[in-house]
Amino acid sequence: MSDDLWLVIALIAVGTFAIRAVPLLWMRRHLQRRHLARGPQRMPANEAEGASDATEPTEAAASIPGWLSILAPLMIAAMFGVSVVPAAIDSGSAWLASISGVVATLLTWRRTRSLGWPVFTGVLVYGLVVVLDGVMF
C-alpha cells in the first residue's frame, strides 16, 4: 500500500505540474506564432529578462483568446464567492462575521487602496465578531 501511495502521489504531482506549466509553453508558442505572422518589422520594446520577447505585454495580452481573458478575473470572483461562505453554513453568527469582515475589507480598501491593510482589517473584524459571539452566546 505504501509503495502504491507513493506512486499515486508522484502521478498526481506530475499531472498537477503539467496542468500548471504546459499551458504557459503553449501560450508562449501561440504568441510567438502571432508575432511572426505579423512580420518581423516590430521589434520588442523591452528585452529585459522579465519581458516577453515575443511582443509587448499589452499587445500580447490583446492576443490572448477572448474567452480566456474573460475567464481569468471571473475565476477570482468565483474563488471569493466560494471562500466567503462560512464553514458553519447554518450559523447566523458565522454569516454575520463573514459579512462584517467583507464590509470592513471593502471600507478599508476604499480608504487605503492597498493590499495588506484591507486584508488585515477584514480578518480583525471577522475575528472580533467570532470572539464576541463566543463570549456573548
Residues whose CB falls within 8 Å of the CB of residue 32, separated by 6 or more in sequence, listed in order:
54
According to the binding rule CB under 8 A, does residue 46 interact with another protein? Answer: yes
Among 38, 61, 91, 132, binds another protein (CB under 8 A): 61
According to the binding rule CB under 8 A, does residue 64 interact with another protein? Answer: yes
Which residue, among 71, 54, 72, has the nearest Cα to 63 in the 3D structure? 54
| Interacting residues with another protein between 80 and 119 (CB under 8 A) | 80-85, 87, 89, 97-98, 101-102, 105-106, 109, 112-119
Residue pair 101/129 in contact (Cβ under 8 Å)? The answer is yes
Among 40, 50, 136, 137, binds another protein (CB under 8 A): 50
